[in-house]
Structure 1
Amino acid sequence: MVATVTTNKPAKKPGKLTMQVAEIAADTTAMRSLDWDRDRFDIEFGLQNGTTYNSFIIRGEKVALVDTSHAKFRELYLATLQGEIDPTQIDYLVISHTEPDHSGLVRDVLALIGDRVTVVGTKVAIKFLEDLVHVPFERQVVKNGDQIDLGNGHILQFVNAPNLHWPDTMMTYDHKTEIVYTCDIFGMHFCDDRLYDEELKDLAPDYRFYYDCLMAPNARSVISAMKRMDDLPQITTVANGHGPLLKYNLKELTENYRTWSQSQTKGETTVAVFYTSDYGYSDRISQAIARGITKTGVAVEMMDLKSSDMQELRELVEHAAGIAIAMPPSNSQATELALGTILAAAHSKQAFGLFESYGGDDTSIDIVANNLTDLGLKPAFPQIRIKEEPSEMIYQLCDESGTDMGQLLSLKQNIKKMKSLDADVDKAVGRLAGGLYIITAQKGEVKSAMLASWVAQASFKPLGLTIAVAKDRAIESLMQVGDSFVLNILEEGNYSKLMQHFLKRFPPGADRFEGVKTRIAENDSPILADALAYIECKVVSRMECSDHWIVYSTAELGRVSKTDTLTATHHRKVGNHY
């Protein structure tokens, strides 16, 4: 089974870039790079509100710079930094992690500061940085609990947080200001002039979407990191790497991470997802696969083949129900050893998925597939062969492939749960009737559709409706707050063809509209030509309900093609499955 994706991705015009500088505590300055028009980040589909890259200056008797910025801000960031401080006075450059959106200007900053600066980071971060900047630098490797005294009460304490969402991540706590610098952790892609989280309702959807995309696949690591945070003294501000800083709703927003992660890890089924950091698009593709898996309620543990401990890797493979591997470089001794360990620990009761990294020298996907098949493992999704830089369609393909894997592994458990429900209640709930609808949506290159019956009007002013969308549906990614879609209403007595088409199980990345007559709505989503009526909708809010999202949307436009015809209805016998 092979899925090959090739797309022509148009070049994007540069967006609006600005800088914001603010004092956030004694001797502490935030420098925020505001990327107003960025509409996509890593695996996340359609950012509604841009993003920011946050950097910080801490002044004691010595000076520390925490993180830098994205390379697109080179001129703006370096000019701002020099306007705030003479760079040669900076003693420490603290690297929270080496992902390019935070370390993209490290080489430039080192050139400004000179040889006197000491770069501070985890062992893994320092090694990654050597490969990134290709210039010599003084370094200080820190472990969990280590401290650096800047003077004047500014004692920096370091907290290891690997795999959030990069293998070298750490947090930094300033004992004087009670600020913890968290980089990606507790962040959100939300670009706004407001420095802090003053309006929770404005931020909540982006905060949750960010967690679901980047942190949920690393839920076990989130819990471990928060246990280490519990050992810190009082925290008054979270100085994150993306979006507004957390101050006014700090307790609620940070505890959300704990609650969401505990829910994510309570399942018995786990998939091990292996990638190679800083190699091609390995980490981002793996994150998309992992996100698709977590939608099904199956837990994920991600591990970097480049820096993994062989004993930990073996134990992870042995207890996992499935393994997904991004093809590592073929010329790396470390990843070759890790791959051999995976093959030695894998067993016939597992499912597997393989995908290329587009790193230029990927290990042969066919050889690895043959080895796993010979061991008795079953493929969970078609091999993903990437021929060029990943596009939105490729990330959607990876997301859907992960979902297929999660559904395969959770099937027996879900059947067991259904059988355990009270039969009378189950039958009674099944008597709730609904209409028959097809939800269609398109955003950028990605489009999707879903047959729905859990639809109801919810308000008069404005005209609004709710739709229950299962968490593991592909279209869920296109129904975030601010997104648009079309609700196609099916006609009584004339719906079987459309219903049968959209009831099919589509393979990952398949065109759900092939062979279906459509036209384009004002909001760019497909309208089904054979529908009785359609309503163009915009998502206003979402409410989480265990295995579904309740999506509240306003009706923007609509039309009925046959005024004297009834809506198709749907009746079920049971209430615990579709």
Structure 2
Amino acid sequence: MKRTVKNNVSWIGKIDWELDTFHGDDYSVNHGSSQNAYLIEEEKTVLIDTVWTPHSTEFLDNLKKEVDLAKIDYIIVNHGEVDHSGVLPQLMKEIPNTPIYCTANAVKSLVGQYHHPEWNFNVVKTGDSLDIGNGKQLVFVEMRMLHWPDSMATYMTGDNILFSNDAFGQHFACDELFNDKADQCLLWEEAIKYYANILSPFSPLVKKKITEVVGLNLPIDIIAPSHGVIWRENPLQIIEAYAKWSDDYQEDQITVIYDTMWDGTKKIAHRIAQELSEMAPTTKIKVYSISTTDKNDIMTEVFKSKAIAVGSPTVGQDILSSVGGWLHFLKELKMTGKKAAVFGCYGWSGEGNKVLREMLEKAGFPVTDVEIKCNWNPTEEVLAQAKAVAQSLL
């Protein structure tokens, strides 16, 4: 069922209430999501993006109820990832000669995934436009690495709509569709989680692209992303948020992250948090166990933080695999402007802190010289060292 976005522009996507993971199992989805596709019916009929393959039959059935497929003049593919392009193989069987407008990299992506080089690809770059009648045009803006090399946005003149694809989205199911109708707490919680876990590695590019888009002086009345709500009330607020998030973002927060074998490292983690709370009563202090808390939710809190403390016991002359995997993911996200401290217990050889320090430094976190390295279970004397660790993070 299509739903009006503005004038002759409709949403024709899928609200995916049951979705609980994304990118395989790499991203946790706590409040459902949506795959947003859009139908423009001016003198020309244009389909912007589709949905994920599991919903392809449902999507096509709904689309056929709304429009004669043979009357679709153009298909815009803003990004070739399967959650946006998954219906194309079925759709192109029905309308095989329909022009597809996308970037050169998107052609590589689509051919690589679906093996149909014969599709009618039309390559576009920033500034290219397509006339859709009634005095309106679609203007294309490449969005390389936001978050794939093939990504672009499409701007519709006249109605002043930016179809931004993965930029400015959230994994958030909202039946009301629009940001002014959504639960604001959940919306912004999911928006910053999405940025922290997906777009954070590309923050320098985000800054440049925002400057470029603003420099185009395009009036923007609506930002229509490919996941989550459509921004129609003060749509520039999400661009302003991205500008902040892309610039060494931090709040007055310190997060303690750990995993433990026999609770010794856990005791140190909680003591560090206690000392931080006493020293800085206005600072948010949060504590997470890596093995019992979703990694994406932890990363969101790390993204908000000005400093972190990371702990692991030594095991096999190394650290726990749960902590090692988490730190690998942290390195992937390329966060900047934050510092770290390390801590942990050991029984015999005690290499854990050294490994933590090296991995954090590779992830871009300057690590304080102060640490807690505890042989066996921490005594009160050892726990008292948490005061110095806490001080080093403030």
TM-score scaled to structure 2, two decimals? Answer: 0.68
Structure-1 residue corresponding to 2:269: 451
Q: Could you list the per-position Cα deviations for residues 124-175 of structure 1 after superposition, in whole angstroms to 9, with x for gaps in the alignment?
A: 1122222333332222111100000100122000001111111100000001
Task: Provide the C-alpha distance between the structure 2 equivalents of 1:33 and 1:174, rounded to a whole number of angstroms.
Answer: 22
Shift of 1:37: 1.5
Match of 2:131 in 1: 149
Corresponding position of 1:221: 205
Contact 1:60 1:151 in 2 (8 A): yes
Relative to structure 1, the CA distance from residue 133 to residue 468 in structure 2 (aligned partners, 3 Å threshold; closer, same or farther) is: closer
CA distance in 1, matches of 2:274, 2:284: 6
3-state SS, counterpart of residue 572 of structure 1:
helix
Query: Counterpart of 1:561?
Result: none
Note if contact 1:66-1:96 (Cα within 8 Å) is conserved in structure 2.
yes
d(CA) in 2 for partners of 1:41 and 1:225?
25
Name the counterpart of 2:194. Answer: 210
**Separation in 1 of the partners of 2:135 and 2:92?**
26
Task: Supply the AA of the counterpart residue of 1:110.
Answer: M
1:427-446 aligned at under 5 Å gives the runs: none
Q: Say whether the 8 Å CA contact 1:160–1:225 is kept in structure 2.
A: no
Q: Secondary structure at the match of 2:126?
A: coil
**Counterpart in 1 of 2:75?**
93
The match for 1:238 among 219, 223, 231 is 223
Go from structure 1 to structure 2 and tell me whether the alpha carbon gap of 1:77 and 1:232 turns closer, same or farther (over 3 Å shift). Answer: farther
Deviations 1:378-413 (A, max 9, x none): xxxxxxxxxxxxxxxxxxxxxxxxxxxxxxxxxxxx
CA contact (8 A) 1:35 1:52 kept: yes
CA distance in 2, matches of 1:22, 1:252: 23
Which residue does 1:34 correspond to in 2? 15
The whole-number CA distance in structure 2 between the counterparts of 1:170 and 1:90 is 21
Structure 2 CA distance for aligned equivalents of residues 202 and 250 of structure 1: 17
Tell me how far 1:179 sits from its aligned partner.
Answer: 0.5
TM superposition shift of 1:47: 1.4
1:127 to 108, 119, 122: 108
* Bigger share in helix: 2
Q: d(CA) in 2 for partners of 1:508 and 1:158?
A: 48
Q: Distance in 1 between matches of 2:297 and 2:388?
A: 31
Distance 2:296 2:285 in 1: 10
1:59-98 correspondence to structure 2 within 5 Å: 59-98=41-80
Q: Distance in 1 between matches of 2:20 and 2:222?
A: 27
Contact 1:451 1:502 in 2 (8 A): no
Q: Is structure 2 residue 6 aligned with structure 1 residue 191?
A: no
Listed one character per residue, the Cα deviations across residues 535-578 of structure 1 (whole Å, up to 9, x for unaligned) are xxxxxxxxxxxx9xxxxxxxxxxxxxxxxxxxx87652471249
2:387 equivalent to 1:576: no
State the Cα distance separating 1:478 from its structure 2 match: 4.3
CA distance 1:142–1:155, shift in 2 (3 Å): same
Within 5 Å, which residues of 2 pair with 1:473-492? Answer: 477-478=294-295, 480=297
2:19 is equivalent to residue 201 of structure 1? no
How large is the Cα RMSD of the aligned pairs? 3.4
* Structure 1 contact 53–69 (Cα < 8 Å) conserved: yes
Deviation at 1:216, TM superposition (A): 0.6
SS of the aligned residue for 2:179 comes to coil
- Are 1:467 and 2:285 counterparts? yes
1:60-88 Cα offsets, whole Å, 9 max, x none, are: 21111000110000221001111111111
Q: Determine the C-alpha separation between the residues in 2 that align with 1:145 and 1:55.
A: 22
Shift of 1:510: 1.6
For residues 300-336 of structure 1, give each alpha carbon's deviation from its aligned partner in whole angstroms, at most 9, with x where no partner exists: xxxxxxxxxxxxxxxxxxxxxxxxxxxxxxxxxxxxx
Deviation of 1:440 (Å): 6.8
- Following superposition, the deviation at residue 220 of structure 1 comes to 1.7
* CA contact 1:89–1:113 (8 Å) conserved in 2: no
Indicate yes or no: 2:74 matched with 1:259. no
Structure 1, gaps ≥5 residues long: 1-19, 265-294, 296-436, 442-447, 459-464, 484-500, 513-546, 548-567
CA contact (8 A) 2:34 2:228 kept: yes
Note closer, same or farther for the CA distance 1:469–1:253 as it changes in structure 2 (3 Å cut).
Answer: farther
So what's the TM-score if we normalise by structure 1?
0.47
Aligned equivalents of 2:168, 2:76: Cα separation in 1: 18
CA distance, structure 1, for counterparts of residue 168 and residue 71 of structure 2: 30
The 3-state SS of whatever aligns with 2:163 is strand
Aligned-pair identity (%)? 26
Q: 1:577 to 1:94 in 2, by over 3 A?
A: same
Question: Is the 2:78–2:152 Cα contact (8 Å) retained in structure 1?
Answer: yes
What's the secondary structure of 2:164's corresponding residue? strand
Match 1:137 to one of 90, 105, 119 = 119
Give the structure 2 partner of residue 536 of structure 1: none
Change (3 A) 1:71 1:466: same
SS at match of 1:163: coil
**Conserved? CA contact 2:257–2:287, under 8 Å:** no
Q: Counterparts of 1:330-409 in structure 2 under 5 Å?
A: none
Structure 1 counterpart of 2:45, one-letter code: V
User: Following the alignment from structure 2 to structure 1, what is the Cα–Cα distance between the partners of residues 200 and 291?
Assistant: 17
CA 248–570 in structure 1, closer or farther in 2 if over 3 Å, else same: farther
The corresponding residue for 1:368 is: none
Equivalent residue number for residue 534 of structure 1: none
Over residues 409-438 of structure 1, what are the superposed CA-to-partner deviations in whole Å (9 max), with x where a residue is unaligned? xxxxxxxxxxxxxxxxxxxxxxxxxxxx99
Residues 1:132 and 1:480: Cα distance change in structure 2 (over 3 Å): closer
